[in-house]
Amino acid sequence: MIVTVTLNAAIDRTLVVPNFQPGQRHRASVGFPSAGGKGINVARALKRLGAPVVCTGLAGGRTGTLLVEELTREGILNDFVRIGAESRTSIAVLDPTSNAYTEINEWGPEVTEEELEILHEKLAYLAQRAEFVVLAGSLPRAVDESFYGELVRELNRGQLLAVVDSEGEPLRLAVEAEPYLVSPNQREAEALVGHEFVDHEDLAAGLDEIADLGARNVLITMETGCYALLREDRTKLRVRAEAPRVEAASEVGAGDTLLAGFLAGRVDGKPFDDAVRSAVAAGAASVLEAGAGRFDPREAGRLASLVQLEHIERVPHER
């Protein structure tokens, strides 16, 4: 089983507004609410790929109740800790004319130490039968930035495979705790190593820079695919995978779906090459429709054969 953890879960309300212009009055052509947050997006994609998954995290107030109801309606197993503060709501405006995406996110609730301790206990229980535990997204207000790092160390002691998809200081501290896998996008990876990636060599070197910080495996997700450094036993693989060109409706959540595709492939026993190919195909399929983690698995299967996979050599980098 795969467990995903979303501390800053939300109700995402997406509005489709053709020719959106700030400061003007508009009427949305489509509007729909959805349970959101990176861990939930990963869980939704895993569900569509047929991987066994349960999501947990923090949910509070009426928004938290709606969030759990939406997940249950989608058939996604969930076991959230109820908190006193109200979970956040996020608004996204998708302009299909320009393919522009405007996002407004609330900070999220304040969480007490007692509520975090309950989450620790729940995670320890759920993780007993898990192969991967995914720690994803931002942290709520006042939660210490070392929280993910502490969880990674706990999971490592239990010989569980911790996967981290976050950004900023929480990501850096989590990487230092030596997780099994980190999956930043290019911008997050650049912030982590402290410089921009301007070309192929920078991205290839960035894999090892992040690994040197503590991560065992690295996926750097991009709009066009991913770069990956993957190690298991005596196997070490560096690959660049490029997605086939598709007409994107929305690229939001594509990185979450790519990560889900990789984990689903590994749970299914696929070797690294095939898992990366499946991951990039799932990410490409997800941009064909609006809504994070929503895609047609059959389309992902069709696109997998079109993914271009290239083995790359280690590129030296300055420490």
pLDDT average, residue stretch 181-196: 96
Which residues form the domain of 123? 2-311
Q: Is residue 316 part of a domain?
A: no
Query: Which of these, 119, 115, 230, 242, lies nearest to 183 by C-alpha position?
Result: 230
The pLDDT value recorded for residue 247 is 76
CA dist 64 → 11, 34, 106, 132, 201 (Å): 8, 12, 14, 25, 44
Q: Please, are residues 180 and 143 in contact by the beta-carbon 8 Å criterion?
A: no
Q: Is residue 301 part of a domain?
A: yes
Q: Is residue 317 part of a domain?
A: no
Q: Is residue 231 part of a domain?
A: yes
Q: Is residue 158 part of a domain?
A: yes
The pLDDT value recorded for residue 224 is 82
Confidence of residue 249 (pLDDT cuts 50, 70, 90): low
pLDDT average, residue stretch 67-90: 94
Q: Is residue 200 part of a domain?
A: yes
Residue 99 has pLDDT above 80, yes or no: no
Q: Give the residue carrying structure tokens 């991967």.
A: 132
The pLDDT value recorded for residue 70 is 92
Question: Which of 35-49, 83-97, 252-266 is least confident?
Answer: 83-97
Q: Please, are residues 185 and 255 in contact by the beta-carbon 8 Å criterion?
A: yes
Q: Is residue 21 part of a domain?
A: yes
Residue 32 sits in a domain whose CATH number is 3.40.1190.20
The pLDDT value recorded for residue 235 is 80
The pLDDT value recorded for residue 250 is 65
Total domains in the chain come to 1
Tokens encoding 169: 């200081």
Confidence of residue 287 (pLDDT cuts 50, 70, 90): confident
- The vertex-114 CA angle with 112 and 118, nearest 5°, equals 120
The pLDDT value recorded for residue 318 is 61
pTM score of the predicted model: 0.91
Q: Is residue 255 part of a domain?
A: yes
